[in-house]
């Protein structure tokens, strides 16, 4: 039986986080009443002209620098001509032969645990273009409504080489790209609102074959789950077709999340001739070195650099470093926590942020930026664990108290609620003696060889200490006394 | 009053010899009387005009008037003017009332205080050289009403020639200001590409279109250009340069001026009467102290073919927005979406526009793009280089504007290539982006002949000077057609 290899390339449309549209002054805010954010230029009234938004160009430069690409000193806007009711000019202004960002790469973590591996995806290009409006087919009784609020919204179309070999790799790339565009502040990443959407070019070939198979392009996938499901379905479909002796036709397909299937939208035969030509209304986009240098100076530390630093300087594992740099908010939270708790607590800080805090946030569906416990509070808490003031168990209690606002700092909660760990060996000894005297039966069982009885005795001591006794000291004292 | 230049009208208004309302009424009345036959105006709105005139009078009274405040002019119906029907000579926009102002409209009317008399007829979407492609019917040449006024700014030319307006605007993509100016005995200027904003000027061929003034004299054109020109942030192809006064060099003597005669403009193909008149103008320039030198524009024979690739290519895309979806004409009966597009565009556009959309679509198509569009762009660079070379040995270039005088209505409308050749001397100027002028230089038979002057980039002030000194020495530009009293 043939072993099949999957080949995937991804095109992503990232909506750029500019205040106004790419070629007009109208607002790009989402959710306004239809056609209230479309000015004369967006409506393509006779005589209007496009003027390029510098902010959109800066976003492209930021992206180019972040992926180590060449930012083209000169790029050209071209018209892509086709008729559609939500395309007001009858052409889309895009870039064709000379895109603003050329080349680049993104290294991503695929999978987790033992099976995790790194993969570098090569990017072909990224170019600036305008979005179209929306056609609304419901509520108009056999007619279509057109909302041009989105028309002219700036997009960066990011195109990879056919480098991915599984849906997991595709999703890992899409997630890393999604994190990166938000990290460098060029896209809000809101997939429900369509700010970040992917097209996947999928083909299969017998393992070992050099030529690519015929690809089909799955359009407009707006969640990572759909991306994975669509690719998995498509791959299986293509394999079945070939194995049943049919040929794959180049086509554009849509994924239906309800059925989990892809269906053909159009084949190569009815593909448009877009008649691209340079837009005579816009001069070539010239980006000089000083502009690039300024943008470079304004770039934050990038996730890749930060991951490497976390591993090298903090001794974190690659997995921890990747998790903590999943977004700029998480990374910022971690670094602020670490600043208070101290570098020696890098690993406990990582655990608290990745496990305890993440679980608590998850439970309430909150974003880390809106966490009720500040990094300063968490850092203070971790300090108290490190210096033995409280145990890990008590720390969870303190964390809950901070979460619900019962104190401004861990120290305040510990003091107010009397949670300081008892480390005074005299006090612990008194408690141990008390418990041993009151639980003769357990003592006898232990001495008869029942290990379980020991745990019961520890529990009793901790109960008497209201959980505050240093567990290690309790263990040691009990053992000594029982042995004696 | 009707024969006064803009400068004279400005003096009359300043001296309170006449108010703007009176002056505007005078021209509105003439339009009402003469336009039904000449058909120079597509839209007249007496109420709006008079309210603008009243506002101008208030500015004059308040002492806040500019040099041309209160003078009524006509606008080519290609400029969007808020609240005015703006048709571009097409059925597609026959009922389109512009909701915004073109930059030219803002500068001339809001800022300079000129009064808008009405919108002038034109070839549909500026595609034509005779004004016969207008949905609103042909315009008649006031010098001979059986003949065309030229195009595409034929309505503007006829309006000024018949003194239905003291001056007007035009746009020039391949000669559309200069050729009708020549055929109607006017002075017209196409500025350097990028000097006048294209914002709000309905696009035909974006890389060639340029607005400019049409009037009785070079001085009028200079005064109008002062109000039209200037950098506009809304037009990315507009050029950021310091403002200039285009009248500043008008009186400069021409002694020492080098006038280049491109041998290609004086070869076969030009009407003998036109050529004789142009030769006489050259003699006049000699008398004015200019030196005549021979130059060559070796690629000029390629300008018409290159133009008829580039202009239709851009037009085919520019006119895609007229799709019946948002504004303008929509076919009354249609089936599905494609049917709506097809019927709307089939019914809404005239033959010449459809011809150019088809040519443009063809030359941009996959497999033809390199052979046509890219090749035409290469020729365009060669043509621009020809001028760079020529201007090394001369200051201005002179020749005929059009190979013939005004031709008969219907004479060339069945033969597009003959029609296209009437712009043979003007098109290269657009391809190179240079400034060009047409000015009256005499008559062949009873019909006016226009001289063409071509300047180097941004040399409008010199062109206007060269034209003005000629007009100080001649009176061709002062002649008026009969039957417009």
Output the DSSP codes for A463-477.
HHTTT-B-HHHHHHH
Query: Which of A26, A34, A47 best probes binding to B when mutated, by most B CB atoms within 10 angstroms?
Result: A47
Angle between helices A303-314 and A328-341 in degrees, nearest 10: 30
Kind of pairing between the strands at A145-147 and A134-136: antiparallel
Q: What is the pLDDT of residue B414?
A: 86
Does the distance separating the beta carbons of B369 and A89 come in below 8 Å? no
Q: What distance in Å separates residue A161's CA from the closest CA in chain B?
A: 24
State which residues of chain A have pLDDT below 70: 1, 484
* Interface with chain B: mutation pick from A21, A34, A49, A56, highest number of B CBs within 10 Å: A49
Tell me the C-alpha distance between B208 and B211, whole Å: 10
Distance to chain A for B206, nearest Cα, Å:
6
The residue behind tokens 């230089």 is: B441
Measure A282 CA to nearest chain B CA, in Å: 6
- Annotated catalytic residue B206: no
The neighbour count for residue B106, using CB atoms within 10 Å, is: 18
Q: What is the pLDDT of residue B435?
A: 98
Say what the alpha-carbon torsion angle B229, B233, B235, B237 is, to the nearest 10 degrees.
80
Residue in chain B closest to A82 (alpha carbons) equals B320
The closest CB to that of A281, out of B202, B206, B365, belongs to B206
Interface size A-B, in CB pairs within 8 Å, comes to: 97
Query: CA triplet A154, A152, A54: central angle to 5 degrees?
Result: 45
Interface residues of A toward B, Cβ cutoff 8 Å, are 40, 43-52, 79, 81, 83, 85, 88-91, 146, 273, 275-277, 280-283
Exposed / middle / buried, residue A429 (Cβ in 10 Å: 0-12, 13-18, 19+) = middle
Tokens 């299986």 sit on residue: A236
- Say whether A280 and B206 touch across the interface (CB within 8 A): yes
Alpha-carbon gap, residue A403 to A413, rounded angstroms:
11
Print the domain residue range for B304.
1-485
Q: What is the value of pTM for the model shown?
A: 0.91
Residue A47 is nearest to which of B203, B319, B320, comparing CB atoms? B203
Residue among B236, B325, B361 minimizing CB distance to A281: B236
Query: Structural domain tally of chain B?
Result: 1
Residue B160, pLDDT score = 98
- Which residues in chain B have Cβ-Cβ distances shorter than 8 Å to A152? none
Q: Which residues of chain B have pLDDT under 50?
A: none
Active-site position among B20, B129, B130, B152: B152
For residues A304 and B430, give the distance between their C-alpha atoms in angstroms, rounded to a whole number.
Answer: 53
Q: What Å distances lie between residue B114 and B25, B52, B67, B107, CA to CA?
A: 14, 8, 10, 9
Q: Do B98 and A45 count as a contact with CB atoms less than 8 A apart?
A: yes
pLDDT digits (tens, 9 = 90+) for A399-429: 999 999 999 999 999 988 888 888 788 888 8
**Coil vs helix vs strand at A461:** helix
Give the pLDDT confidence score for residue B388 in this predicted structure.
98
Q: What are phi and psi of A107, to 5 degrees?
A: -100, 130
- Kindly determine whether residue A40 and residue B341, on different chains, have CB atoms separated by under 8 Å: no
Which residues, 6+ apart, have CB-to-CB distance to B199 below 8 Å? A47, A48, A49, B102, B103, B232, B234, B235, B238
Distances (CA, A) of A42 to A209, B49, B463: 48, 30, 39
Is residue B197 part of the annotated active site? The answer reads no
User: Which position has the token pair 């009256």?
Assistant: B440
Q: Which helix (H) or strand (E) holds B170?
A: strand B168-171
CA distance B77 to B88: 5
Decide if A88 and B364 are in contact by the 8 Å CB cutoff.
Answer: no
Q: What is the pLDDT of residue A44?
A: 98
Closest in B202, B316, B322 to A47, CB measured? B202
A79 closest CB neighbour out of B233, B317, B365: B317
Distant-in-sequence, close-in-space partners of A244: CB < 8 Å, separation ≥ 6: none
Give the C-alpha separation, A323 to A481, whole Å: 46
- Rounded to a whole number of angstroms, the distance from the CA of A80 to the nearest CA of chain B is 9
Active-site residue B4, yes or no? no
In chain A, the largest separation of any two C-alpha atoms, in whole Å, equals: 100
Q: Phi, psi (5° rounding) for residue B217? A: -135, 165
Check if the beta carbon of residue A197 is closer than 8 Å to that of residue A11. Answer: no
CATH classification at residue B81: 3.90.1300.10
Contacts of A282 in chain B (CB under 8 A): 236-237
Most A CBs within 10 A among B77, B236, B345, hence the mutation to make, goes to B236
Whether residues B325 and A281 touch (CB distance < 8 A) is answered with no
Best residue of A38, A40, A46 to probe chain B, by most B CBs closer than 10 Å: A46
Instruction: Kindly determine whether residue B323 and residue A51, on different chains, have CB atoms separated by under 8 Å.
Output: no
What is the reported pLDDT for A1? 61
User: Given an 8 Å threshold on Cβ–Cβ distance, is A282 in contact with B369?
Assistant: no
Cβ separation of A281 and B202 shorter than 8 Å?
no
Active-site residue, from B20, B130, B134, B176: B176
Kindly give the pairing relationship between strand A154-160 and strand A117-130: antiparallel
Do A46 and B207 count as a contact with CB atoms less than 8 A apart?
no
Judged by CB atoms closer than 8 Å, whether chains meet at A282 and B236 is answered as: yes
- Structural contact between residues A309 and A347, judged by C-beta atoms closer than 8 angstroms: no
Rounded CA-CA distance A245/A40 in Å is 54
Please indicate whether, in this complex, the C-beta atoms of B314 and A280 are within 8 angstroms of each other: yes
Q: How far apart are CA B474 and CA B441, in angstroms?
A: 8
Q: Which region, left, alpha or beta, applies to residue B198 given φ > 0 means left and ψ of -120 to 50 means alpha?
A: alpha
Please give the pLDDT value at position A440: 85
The closest CB to that of A49, out of B199, B317, B321, belongs to B199
CA distance A225 to A297: 36
* Residue B413 · residue B132 · CB < 8 Å: yes
Helix (H, G, I), strand (E, B) or coil at B271: coil
């Amino acid at each position: 039986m043939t072993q099949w290899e999957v080949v995937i390339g991804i095109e992503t449309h990232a909506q750029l986080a500019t205040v106004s549209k790419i070629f007009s002054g109208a607002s790009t805010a989402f959710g306004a009443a239809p056609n209230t954010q479309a000015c004369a230029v967006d409506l393509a009234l006779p005589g209007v002209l496009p003027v390029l938004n510098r902010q959109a160009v800066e976003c492209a430069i930021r992206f180019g620098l972040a992926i180590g690409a060449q930012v083209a000193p000169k790029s050209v806007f071209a018209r892509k001509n086709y008729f559609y009711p939500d395309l007001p000019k009858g052409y889309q202004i895009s870039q064709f032969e000379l895109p603003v960002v050329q080349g680049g790469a993104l290294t991503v973590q695929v999978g987790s645990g033992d099976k995790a591996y790194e993969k570098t995806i090569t990017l072909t290009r990224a170019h600036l273009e305008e979005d179209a409006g929306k056609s609304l087919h419901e509520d108009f009784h056999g007619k279509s409504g057109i909302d041009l609020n989105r028309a002219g919204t700036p997009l960066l179309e990011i195109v990879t080489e056919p480098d991915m070999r599984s849906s997991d790799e595709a999703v890992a790339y899409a997630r890393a790209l999604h994190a990166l565009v938000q990290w460098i502040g060029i896209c809000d990443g809101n997939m429900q609102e369509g700010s970040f959407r992917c097209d996947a070019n999928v083909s299969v070939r017998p393992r070992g074959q050099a030529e690519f198979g015929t690809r089909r392009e799955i359009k407009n996938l707006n969640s990572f789950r759909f991306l994975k499901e669509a690719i998995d379905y498509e791959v299986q479909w293509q394999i079945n077709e070939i194995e049943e002796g049919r040929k794959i036709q180049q086509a554009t397909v849509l994924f239906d999340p309800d059925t989990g299937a892809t269906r053909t939208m159009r084949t190569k035969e009815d593909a448009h001739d877009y008649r691209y030509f340079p837009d005579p209304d816009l001069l070539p986009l010239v980006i000089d070195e000083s502009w690039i240098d300024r943008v470079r100076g304004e770039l934050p530390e990038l996730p890749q650099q930060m991951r490497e630093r976390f591993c090298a300087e903090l001794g974190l594992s690659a997995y921890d470093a990747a998790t903590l740099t999943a977004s700029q908010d998480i990374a910022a939270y971690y670094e602020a926590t670490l600043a208070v708790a101290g570098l020696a607590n890098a690993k406990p800080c990582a655990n608290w942020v990745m496990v305890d805090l993440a679980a608590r946030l998850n439970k309430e569906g909150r974003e880390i930026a809106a966490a009720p416990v500040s990094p300063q509070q968490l850092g203070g808490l971790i300090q108290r664990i490190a210096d033995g003031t409280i145990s890990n168990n008590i720390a969870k209690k303190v964390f809950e108290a901070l979460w619900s606002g019962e104190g401004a700092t861990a120290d305040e909660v510990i003091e107010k609620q009397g949670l300081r760990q008892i480390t005074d060996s005299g006090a612990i000894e008194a408690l141990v003696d008390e418990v041993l005297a009151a639980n003769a039966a357990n003592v006898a069982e232990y001495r008869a060889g029942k290990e379980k009885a020991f745990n019961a005795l520890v529990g009793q001591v901790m109960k008497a200490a209201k959980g505050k006794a240093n567990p290690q000291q309790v263990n040691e004292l009990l053992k000594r006394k029982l042995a004696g | 009053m009707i024969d006064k230049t803009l400068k004279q009208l400005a003096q009359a208004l300043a001296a309170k010899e006449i108010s703007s309302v009176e002056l505007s009424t005078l021209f509105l009345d003439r339009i009402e009387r003469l336009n039904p036959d000449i058909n120079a105006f597509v839209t007249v709105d007496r109420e709006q005009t008079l309210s603008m005139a009243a506002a101008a009078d208030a500015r004059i009274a308040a002492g806040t008037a500019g040099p041309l405040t209160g003078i009524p002019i006509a606008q080519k119906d290609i400029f969007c003017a808020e609240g005015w029907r703006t048709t571009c000579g097409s059925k597609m926009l026959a009922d389109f009332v512009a909701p915004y102002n073109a930059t030219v409209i803002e500068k001339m009317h809001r800022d300079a205080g000129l009064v808008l008399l009405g919108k002038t007829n034109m070839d549909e979407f500026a595609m034509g050289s005779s004004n016969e492609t207008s949905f609103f019917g042909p315009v008649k040449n006031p010098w001979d009403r059986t003949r065309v006024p030229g195009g595409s700014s034929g309505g503007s030319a006829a309006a000024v020639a018949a003194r239905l307006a003291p001056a007007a605007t035009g746009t020039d993509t391949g000669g559309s200001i200069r050729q009708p100016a020549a055929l109607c005995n006017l002075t017209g200027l196409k500025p350097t590409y990028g000097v006048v904003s294209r914002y709000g000027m309905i696009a035909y061929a974006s890389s060639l279109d340029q607005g400019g003034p049409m009037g009785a004299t070079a001085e009028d054109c200079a005064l109008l250009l002062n109000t039209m020109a200037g950098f506009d942030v809304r037009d990315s192809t507009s050029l950021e340069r310091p403002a200039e006064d285009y009248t500043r060099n008008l009186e400069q003597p021409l002694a020492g001026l080098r006038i280049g005669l491109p041998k290609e403009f004086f070869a076969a193909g030009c009407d003998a009467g036109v050529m004789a008149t142009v030769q006489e103008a050259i003699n006049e320039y000699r008398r004015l102290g200019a030196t005549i030198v021979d130059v060559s524009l070796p690629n000029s024979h390629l300008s018409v073919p290159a133009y008829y690739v580039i202009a239709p290519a851009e037009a085919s895309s520019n006119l895609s927005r007229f799709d019946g979806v948002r504004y303008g004409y929509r076919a009354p009966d249609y089936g599905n979406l494609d049917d709506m597009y097809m019927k709307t565009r089939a019914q809404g556009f005239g033959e010449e526009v459809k011809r150019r959309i088809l040519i443009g679509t063809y030359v941009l198509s996959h497999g033809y793009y390199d052979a046509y569009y890219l090749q035409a762009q290469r020729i365009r660079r060669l043509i621009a280089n020809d001028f760079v070379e020529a201007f090394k040995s001369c200051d201005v270039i002179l020749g005929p504007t059009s190979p013939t005088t005004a031709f008969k209505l219907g004479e060339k409308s069945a033969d597009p290539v003959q029609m296209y050749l009437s712009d043979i001397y003007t098109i290269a100027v657009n391809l190179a982006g240079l400034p060009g002028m047409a000015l009256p230089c005499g008559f062949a038979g009873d019909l006016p002949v226009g001289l063409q002057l071509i300047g180097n980039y941004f040399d409008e002030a010199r062109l206007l000077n060269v034209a003005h000194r000629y007009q100080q020495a001649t009176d061709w530009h002062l002649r008026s057609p009969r039957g417009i009293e």
